[in-house]
Structure 1
Amino acid sequence: MPRATTTDISLTKSYIPKVSKIPGISPTIAKFYKSIENRNIHEGRVVDQAYYKSNNIERLFTNIRFDCLFKIIEPIVPRFILDFYSQVTIQTDEYGYLVISFMIQHEFITLTLAQFGQILKIPYNGQAVFTNEWDLASLEYSQETEGPYSTDLPTPDDIRRLLELERVMVDRTIKSQTVTLTPNQILTKELSPDMKQWEELIRENVFGLGGHRDHLPACLAHMLYCVVAEEQYNLAYFFVKRIECARANPTANLPYGMFLTRLYRQF
C-alpha cells in the first residue's frame, strides 16, 4: 500500500463540482455549497492483499472488525459528498444516542448511529471517544462519563505498556523552539516495525492526510491499543464525531469519501 501524500488529496479538487456556480441556482442553495466545494476530499486508500496479510494485520484487525479498513474499495461520488457535507447535522436524542441527519435529492434522511454503522459496514459498538489532541491524557478529558457511549478507557500507562513503546527522544523542535516531550506524547518512530504498518493503514482510512505524521494522535494510539488487546472499538462513533468536526472547520478536508459511497448507494 503506497503511502498517500498531500499531493494526492489536492488532486480531488479537479473533480469536485462547483454547484454554487450552476446558472439559475438560488443564492440560498449556493450558499450551502460554496464553503464546501473548495475543500479537498479525503477519499481513503485501497489496500492490497499482500499488505494486509502481513504482520498479523488480517487476523488482528478482523478480531475487532477493523477488517473494514482494508476491504474498502469504492468509487467516489463527488456530488453526493458535497450534498452530504453541505447540510449534515449531528444531534443527540433524549436518551443520549447520536443521530445523523442529511439531505439527498431533496429527501431528509435521519439515521441512528447503529444504522449509520451498518450501512457503512463499520463497527458501532465498543470503546468510544473522540479528540484531535496528541497527548494521551486528552482521552480521559474527552470521554463521555454517562449515557450510551460511556466508556472505561485504558490509562495512558496501559496504552504505553501494551504497545511496548520505547522513548527514542525527549526533546523535539517545534517552530524553531526546543520542546520537551511528555511521556504521553508518542512519536510514530517509537512503534515497532509491525505496528507502524498497522498505524499507517488506520491513519490512511480513518484519519486522512495532513497534520504531523511523525507523531501519534491520542485516538490512533487508543485504536492500536484496542487492536492488540482485542477490545471492540466504536468506529462509527469516531466517524460521526470527525464528520461533525470537519463540518465545523472551514478549511478541513472532507473525510470518508469511499465509505460515504455506501451511504449513497443505500438511498
Structure 2
Amino acid sequence: MDQELRESYRILEKRLFHEGRIVTPSFNAKNNMFPFFQAIGLKPFLTLNKPICPIFVVEFYHSLEVKRNEEDIPYIEFKLGQFTFTLTPSRLSQILKTPHALETFYTSEWSLNSLDDHANSNYFGPKHDIVKMAITTLRTTRAQLLRDLNKLYIDDIHPDLKGWELFFKETFFCFIDKRNKVKACTAYMLYYLTIGRKFKFTSIIIYRMEEVIKKRKGLMPFAILLTRLYNNILDTNPQAIVPIARFTYNEHVIDPLDIL
C-alpha cells in the first residue's frame, strides 16, 4: 500500500466506529482459544458477530457519563430521549455476558513499571518477570536486546498468544495506535488467560469508555458489544428506543430494528 493510500485509510480510521474483531471458526481453531476463554468466562466474546446500530452508538457516547459511588467503583449513565439509564459493573456484566469477578485493572500506559503505582496495583497479582516469562519468547536480535525490558512488543509475544493479543487489542480495547507494541494491561490479560484466572472485564470496559469520552476524539469503541446493550433495552424498555428508532437517510426511512 503506497503512503498516500495508507494515510487516507488512517484518516478514515479516526472517524469510524470500532466494531471489534470478529472471530471466525478457523481463527479460533488455529489459536486454540475456546478452552482458555471458557475457563475465564469470556467465551461469549468468541461469538460476537452482530450488526451494529450506528445511531445508538452515537447517542450512547454523546450522553455517556462515568461516575463513581461512595466506594469509588465506577458506573455509567447515559440517556435515550427522556430516559436515563444507570448501569453498575455487575448489571453491565449480566447484559454483556462477561464474568463478574473481583479483580479488575486498567491502564493506558505501555510500561509494566507503570502498574507499580497504579491505583489498582493490588489486582495485578504476580511480579512482572513472571508475567513476561509466561507470555514472551527470549529476545535474540540486537534491536530486541536494546529495548526497555518493561515494554513489550508484538515480536516479544509467544507465537501461540499473538492471535489472543490481536483479539484483546481490537475487541476489548479498540486500539489502533502503536500496533507494534503491547499495552501493559494487555500483557496481564494474556497472563490471566494462560493461567485460567478470571478478572472483571466490565470495569475495564468502563475505564476505557471514560478514557474515550475525556479525549473527545478518536474511534467510538465497543460498537458490536453495544449491540447487546441495545437489544437488552429493546427487550426491557422498548419505549426508550422510540426517539432514535427511525431516522432518514437519502430520503428513505430506515428502521434500526431492520439491521438488527
- Bin the TM-score by the shorter chain: 0.7 to 0.9
Matches within 5 A, 1:44-59: 44-59=20-35
Note if contact 2:112-2:150 (Cα within 8 Å) is conserved in structure 1: yes
Matches within 5 A, 1:128-147: 128-144=104-120
Cα separation, 2, equivalents of 1:215 and 1:81: 28
Structure 2 residue 141 is the aligned partner of structure 1 residue 165: no
1:143 CA displacement = 3.5
Cα separation, 2, equivalents of 1:122 and 1:71: 13
Find the counterpart in structure 2 of residue 156 from structure 1.
Answer: 128
Q: How many residues align?
A: 228
1:130 CA displacement = 1.0
Structure 2 residue 193 is the aligned partner of structure 1 residue 227: yes
Moved over 6 A (4+): 5-10
1:123 CA displacement = 2.2
Matches within 5 A, 1:20-31: none
Find the counterpart in structure 2 of residue 62 from structure 1.
Answer: 38
1:152 CA displacement = 5.0
1:42 CA displacement = 0.7
1:102 CA displacement = 0.4
Find the counterpart in structure 1 of residue 151 from structure 2.
Answer: 185
Structure 1 spans left out of the alignment, 5+ residues: 13-37, 173-178
What per-residue deviation string (whole Å, max 9, x for no partner) do you get for residues 219-246 of structure 1?
A: 1111000011111021101100000000
* Aligned equivalent of 1:100, options 70, 76, 97: 76
Residues 152 and 73 (structure 1), Cα distance of their counterparts in 2 relative to 1, 3 Å cut: same
Cα separation, 1, equivalents of 2:98 and 2:10: 23
Look up the equivalent residue of 1:100 and give its one-letter code.
Answer: I
What per-residue deviation string (whole Å, max 9, x for no partner) do you get for residues 122-176 of structure 1?
A: 223143111111101112322426xxxx62522211211222432245647xxxx
Cα separation, 2, equivalents of 1:84 and 1:120: 15
Residues 248 and 39 (structure 1), Cα distance of their counterparts in 2 relative to 1, 3 Å cut: farther
TM-score, normalised to structure 1, is: 0.77
Cα separation, 1, equivalents of 2:214 and 2:223: 18
Matches within 5 A, 1:11-22: none
The structure with the greater share of residues assigned to helix is: 2
Note if contact 2:75-2:206 (Cα within 8 Å) is conserved in structure 1: no
* Aligned equivalent of 1:80, options 47, 56, 66: 56
Cα separation, 1, equivalents of 2:73 and 2:175: 29
Q: Taking every aligned residue pair, what percent have the same amino acid on both sides?
A: 26
Structure 2 spans left out of the alignment, 5+ residues: 1-5, 234-260
Structure 1 vs Structure 2 CA RMSD? 2.4
